[in-house]
């Protein structure tokens, strides 16, 4: 006999030829229904993806399982996955523990990929004209659990010298390091920026990729008082770069990203809040 049929049977009166269902019966039936349905509901509320480059759409963003550096691993295995659970995104990772450089940058992505080929672009495809941005703000909150090894928690955005966004038109990569451990940025320290929300050391350098036969400027703002939640006024960073001639006029923004550069650490991050406002 089924569970529901059992409840009907228990409510039968000997003197009657019908079944009476009282209030307690309805409560019991509802409890059984919820218990039976719960695994399905939990399954429906969780998505996880393990393959490199896989994407989960979330609000106006994409959660990207970027494993760009795993080709450098010579020994051991590396696991990295992105997930969305009860509308809360995040990612987790486990490295071989040896230093092979940056293995991945799982991230929240907004905009247009910087990595198109120029001959594939038929019309302007930039995300924002940097000169036209008047307001650029971020508010974020994370729950990060990570061991005492190399990683960072950083924003990353790409500037191009053309409205046609492609790797050939990259002029500069800009990073803002909010948290980091046993890991220093590329380049040399050039100065310090004091913002409304904290101080940052400024590093600059030139990156050249032989496999692409292409180079670009690298600028990193490294926060002195490390944090995992907070607010940023991006125009303070952009204005600093403009005043110090760190990017060319008529630059175009392809994408704005937030993620963890992973080297030797193992950990998990949950994004409790993430808001980007660009006007």
Three-state SS across 167-180? HHHEEEEEEEEEEE
Output the pTM of the full model: 0.84
For the chain, the domains span 3-43, 47-278
Give the model's pLDDT for residue 45.
85
Residue 258's pLDDT is 99
Q: What is the pLDDT of residue 15?
A: 46
Burial class (CB in 10 A: 0-12, 13-18, 19+), 186: middle
Residue 135 CA to residue 276 CA, distance in Å, equals: 10
What's the Rg (C-alpha) of the chain? 25
Question: What does the alpha-carbon distance between residue 105 and residue 153 come to, in Å, rounded to a whole number?
Answer: 9
Torsion angles phi and psi, residue 235, rounded to 5: -65, -25
* CATH assignment, 47-278: 2.60.120.180
Tell me which residues of the chain have a pLDDT lower than 70.
1-44
Three-state DSSP at 19 gives strand
Taking a C-beta distance cutoff of 8 angstroms, is the pair 234, 135 a contact?
Answer: no
């Amino acid at each position: 006999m089924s569970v529901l049929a059992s409840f009907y049977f228990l409510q039968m009166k000997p003197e009657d030829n019908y079944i009476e269902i009282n209030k307690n019966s309805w409560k019991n039936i509802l409890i059984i229904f919820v218990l039976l349905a719960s695994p399905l509901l939990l399954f429906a509320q969780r998505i996880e993806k393990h393959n490199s480059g896989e994407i989960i759409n979330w609000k106006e963003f994409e959660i990207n399982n970027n494993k760009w550096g795993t080709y450098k691993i010579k020994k051991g295995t590396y696991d990295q996955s992105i997930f969305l659970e009860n509308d809360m995104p995040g990612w987790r990772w486990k490295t071989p523990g040896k230093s092979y450089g940056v293995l991945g940058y799982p991230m929240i992505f907004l905009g247009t990929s910087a990595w198109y080929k120029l001959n594939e672009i038929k019309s302007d495809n930039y995300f924002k004209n940097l000169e036209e941005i008047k307001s650029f703000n971020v508010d974020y909150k994370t729950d990060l659990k990570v061991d005492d090894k190399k990683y960072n928690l950083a924003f990353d955005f790409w500037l191009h010298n053309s409205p046609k966004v492609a790797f050939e038109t990259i002029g500069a990569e800009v990073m803002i390091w909010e948290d980091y451990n046993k890991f220093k940025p590329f380049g040399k320290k050039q100065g310090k920026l004091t913002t409304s929300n904290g101080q940052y050391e400024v590093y600059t350098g030139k990156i050249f990729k032989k496999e692409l036969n292409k180079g670009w400027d690298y600028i990193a703002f490294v926060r002195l008082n490390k944090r995992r939640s907070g607010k940023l006024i991006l125009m303070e960073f952009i204005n600093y770069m403009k005043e110090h001639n760190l990017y060319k006029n008529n630059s175009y923004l392809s994408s704005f990203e937030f993620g963890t550069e992973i080297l030797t650490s193992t950990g998990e991050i949950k994004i409790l809040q993430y808001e980007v406002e660009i006007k």
